[in-house]
């Protein structure tokens, strides 16, 4: 079986996969030329770079391809029409980043509660300024996106004393984390009572521009917005306006409509805003965990067992019950 690893130059980039070398024909495709050379004989393609692998450009060469594994949770760059229409199975890295991203959300929420951004500004200015913090216990959060990451977020916030509500694609009356999952139609009523609005939505046509002026207008003036999902889910100029006018109190943003965030974006300097460069899931050692996950999937593939993390290519995410 030939396995092509796109976006990696050799086993130095993916040392945890070196054990495959004796059992399979492993080829690396760090650039378009290498991809074009190796793709015609590939049965399995691993996209090590999840922001775009060149697979769409060279799809006519994928004569023998049966399985694509995407080393990221979001798979929109992989959902080009030819792959979607094909019988090729697409899997993703669902589960690897859940805990880290939930810790990021809890960390930024605590930063707001403890007023750490203000404390750092005072420290830089050499000012000893007494201030009260807020309390996290007893506040309310609404988590948009109730997959693996959203559920982890809900669990950690609930453990810190936060009342958590979840919003999913479809409503259901019982849920082990949120008690009840609400549908999209409930969003305005829910954000109107929330201290924390947390977006963990995937990048799909249905979620594009999900958060805009109407949603921000429905929030409390004391609410903070946290986005670890995708920048495409937010109408960014309308978020900027909500922050600039004090319609909402702040935001912690790890994802943006354009990345890197342009240097002239108002989000860099607006008060009450925490900006991080799409790193909420990137912890030390996550690359090794990605490799181990693929090896587990490969063992199932070789055994003829059903693969886990299979993406519904029409919907754009891993469907869960």
Compute the Cα dihedral for 16, 18, 23, 25 and give only its sign: positive
Q: Is 259 a known active-site residue?
A: yes
Q: Is 278 a known active-site residue?
A: yes
The DSSP call for residue 279 is: -
Exposure letters 135-167 (e unless 16+ CB within 10 A, then b): ebeebbbbbbbbbbbbbbbbbbbeebebbbbbb
SS3 (DSSP) at 98: helix
Which of 259, 292, 300, 302 does the annotation list as catalytic? 259
Which of 58, 230, 238, 247 does the annotation list as catalytic? 230
Closest by alpha carbon to 83, among 57, 120, 108? 57
- CA-CA distance, 167 to 180, in Å (whole number)? 9
* HSE-up of residue 90 (Cα within 13 Å, Cβ side): 28
Task: Strand 250-253: give its sheet, edge to edge.
Answer: 172-175, 179-182, 163-167, 140-144, 196-199, 224-227, 250-253, 273-275
Closest by alpha carbon to 98, among 53, 135, 48, 151? 151
Residue with tokens 């775009």: 52
Closest by alpha carbon to 200, among 179, 229, 163, 172? 229
Q: Is 308 a known active-site residue?
A: no
Which of 66, 122, 278, 287 does the annotation list as catalytic? 278
- CA-CA distance, 236 to 256, in Å (whole number)? 8
Q: What is the full DSSP assignment across 218-273?
A: HS-TT-EEEE-S-GGGB-HHHHHHHHHTTSSSEEEES--SSSSPPTT-GGGTSTTE
SS3 (DSSP) at 141: strand
Q: Indicate which residues carry an active-site annotation.
A: 230, 259, 278
């Amino acid at each position: 079986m030939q396995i092509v690893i796109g976006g990696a130059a050799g086993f130095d980039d993916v040392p945890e996969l070196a054990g495959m070398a004796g059992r399979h024909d492993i080829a690396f495709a760090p650039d378009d030329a290498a991809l074009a050379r190796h793709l015609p004989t590939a049965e399995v393609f691993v996209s090590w770079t999840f922001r775009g692998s060149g697979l769409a450009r060279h799809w006519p060469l994928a004569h023998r391809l049966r399985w694509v594994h995407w080393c990221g949770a979001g798979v929109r760059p992989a959902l080009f029409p030819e792959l979607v229409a094909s019988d090729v199975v697409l899997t993703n890295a669902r589960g690897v980043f859940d805990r880290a991203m939930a810790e990021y959300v809890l960390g930024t929420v605590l930063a707001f509660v403890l007023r750490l951004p203000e404390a750092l500004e005072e420290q830089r200015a050499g000012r000893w300024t007494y201030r009260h913090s807020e309390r996290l216990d007893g506040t309310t959060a609404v988590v948009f996106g109730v997959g693996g990451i959203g559920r982890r977020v809900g669990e950690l916030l609930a453990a810190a004393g936060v009342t958590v509500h979840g919003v999913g694609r479809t409503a259901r009356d019982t849920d082990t984390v949120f008690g009840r999952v609400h549908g999209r139609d409930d969003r305005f009523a829910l954000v109107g009572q929330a201290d924390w609005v947390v977006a963990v939505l995937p990048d799909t046509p249905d979620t594009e521009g999900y958060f805009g002026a109407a949603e921000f207008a429905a929030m409390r003036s004391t609410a903070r917005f946290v986005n670890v999902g995708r920048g495409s889910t937010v109408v960014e100029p309308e978020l900027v306006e909500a922050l600039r006018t004090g319609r909402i109190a702040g935001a912690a943003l790890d994802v943006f409509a354009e990345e890197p965030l342009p240097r002239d974006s108002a989000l860099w300097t607006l008060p009450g805003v925490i900006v991080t460069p799409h790193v909420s899931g990137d912890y030390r050692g996550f690359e090794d965990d990605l490799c181990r996950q693929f090896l587990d999937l490969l063992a199932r593939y070789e055994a003829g067992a059903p693969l886990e993390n299979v993406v519904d290519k029409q919907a754009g995410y891993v469907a869960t019950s």
